[in-house]
């Protein structure tokens, strides 16, 4: 892909990015997440900004375990992933955000693009302080006010972390996902909100749930674009300070 960001007016050939390779995974989920946490912790301790490409969404739980206190987290996702357990398991792609809320605090979480959840998950958001923005909320408020709302949320914390489940996009834009959900965000909406999320206090970012076996290449391409524009926005912010 070409390396100039029209949105941020940044040439990524001039941005210092290091590919640190892959985390060696094993069949045991807990062990795999411990490895991810260890890598994230090492990078954060070195004052680097880790950018992960998943993988299923439970990798965000590992990143959250490595985050410092007073970190706000914004999740772009079609699903809340706030079940207390799923198929008898406390830790999975459907429960990881509940575990994250127990680690960093429910009022430190904003979920954007949400349109698929169980009633118990909805009840949990209402009583716990998780902030939820649906596609309908976005369309009623407009993209500029929604972006401002995200920035306002993240500004409350010393640090911020952003996670993107690519199924936040409508399946028309990202069909290669395991749990497609209609009535999602457009690519422009997501990229605009990602740009708004890349505040000066950002300390980590991930993009997850691209499913190659279900994809023609379209979903992978937009996933790369999200990461690309996030890096460009981060670079643009750093050069202003």
Q: Give 141-150 pLDDT, tens digit per residue.
A: 999 999 999 9
Q: Which two tokens stand for residue 78?
A: 């079609």
Mean pLDDT of 215-237: 96
Q: What is the mean pLDDT of residues 132-145?
A: 98
Bond prior to 182 in cis (omega within 30° of 0): no
In this prediction the pTM is: 0.96
At residue 88, the pLDDT reads 82
Which class is domain 4-240? Answer: alpha beta
Mean confidence (pLDDT) of the chain: 95
Q: Which helix (H) or strand (E) covers residue 60, if one does?
A: helix 59-66
CA distance 113 to 170: 10
Specify the pLDDT at position 240.
60
- pLDDT tens, position by position, 7-21: 999 999 999 999 999
Task: Report the 10 Å Cβ neighbour count for 66.
Answer: 21
Cα–Cα dist 116/91, whole Å = 19
Measured from the Cβ of residue 93, the count of other Cβ atoms closer than 10 Å reads: 24
71-81 tens-digit pLDDT: 999 999 999 99
**What's the gap between Cα 140 and its chain centre?**
23
Residue spans of beta strands (DSSP E) within the chain: 4-5, 10-11, 51-53, 71-76, 109-112, 131-133, 159-165, 202-208
The answer, yes or no, to whether residue 241 has pLDDT greater than 60, is no
pLDDT tens per residue, range 160-216? 999 999 999 999 999 999 999 999 999 999 999 999 999 999 999 999 999 999 999
Query: Is the Cβ–Cβ distance between 167 and 181 less than 8 Å?
Result: yes
């Amino acid at each position: 892909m070409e390396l100039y960001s029209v949105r941020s007016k940044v040439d990524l050939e001039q941005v210092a990015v290091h590919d640190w390779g892959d985390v060696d995974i094993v069949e045991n989920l807990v062990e795999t997440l411990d490895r991810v946490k260890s890598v994230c912790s090492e990078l954060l301790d070195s004052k680097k900004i880790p950018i992960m490409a998943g993988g299923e969404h439970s990798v965000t739980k590992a990143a959250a375990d490595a985050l410092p206190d007073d970190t706000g987290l914004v999740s772009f996702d079609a699903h809340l992933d706030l079940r207390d357990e799923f198929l008898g398991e406390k830790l999975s792609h459907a429960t990881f955000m509940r575990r994250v809320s127990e680690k960093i605090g429910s009022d430190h979480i904003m979920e954007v693009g949400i349109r698929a959840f169980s009633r118990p998950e909805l009840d949990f958001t209402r009583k716990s302080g998780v902030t939820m923005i649906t596609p309908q909320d976005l369309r009623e408020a407009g993209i500029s006010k929604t972006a401002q709302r995200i920035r306002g949320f993240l500004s409350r914390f010393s640090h911020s972390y952003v996670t993107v489940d690519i199924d936040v996009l409508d399946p028309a834009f990202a069909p290669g996902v395991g749990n497609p959900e209609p009535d999602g965000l457009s690519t422009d909406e997501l990229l605009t909100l990602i740009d708004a999320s890349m505040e000066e206090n950002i300390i980590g970012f991930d993009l997850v749930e691209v499913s190659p076996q279900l994809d023609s290449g379209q979903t992978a391409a937009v996933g790369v674009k999200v990461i690309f524009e996030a890096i460009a926005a981060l670079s643009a912010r750093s050069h202003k300070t």
